[in-house]
Amino acid sequence: MEEGTSKSPSNCEGTVDYGDADPFQWDTREDCEVRQILDRVADKWSLLVIALLDRRVLRFTELRREIDGVSQRMLTVTLRQLERDGLVKRTVHAVVPPRVDYELTPLGGTLHATIQSLVTWTEEHQGEIASAREDYDSRASAVAGG
């Protein structure tokens, strides 16, 4: 069993009621299925794989070449997890040497639209974030130095 995965799915029954808290806030317990799914799809390697597979089919080697810094093992694990979750389809072609293609499933395609919204938001606000970081760093260095 992979790390962080419970033996049986949980729908987070027994979640604490926080009154006026956002009803769409996911449970923070490790055995919460919503949290597990969010952990998976929000992983940096998963995000990159999903983005690269938008409307195209890629081979393992093409994915590895496109994703800077990912190890062969990490890409293999990520692709298996995405396939298990129904987001990526793996097709093995009976040729020598074997060829394996990856593509988004229809479900994975719906997730890509959400990821694209996040990327768009990041692009629109990157200047504000850079400015906030500079302000924070200058305050932190003043405190450390003073």
Mean pLDDT by 10 residues, the chain (146 residues): 45 49 56 81 91 94 95 97 96 93 95 88 95 94 80
Confidence at residue 141, expressed as pLDDT on a 0 to 100 scale: 87
pLDDT at 104: 96
CB 49: neighbour CB atoms within 10 A?
25
- For the whole model, what pTM was predicted? 0.69
Buried residues in 57-92 as b, exposed as e (16+ CB within 10 A): ebebeebbeebeebeeeebeebbebbeebebbbeee
Cα angle 64, 68, 73; round to 5 = 50
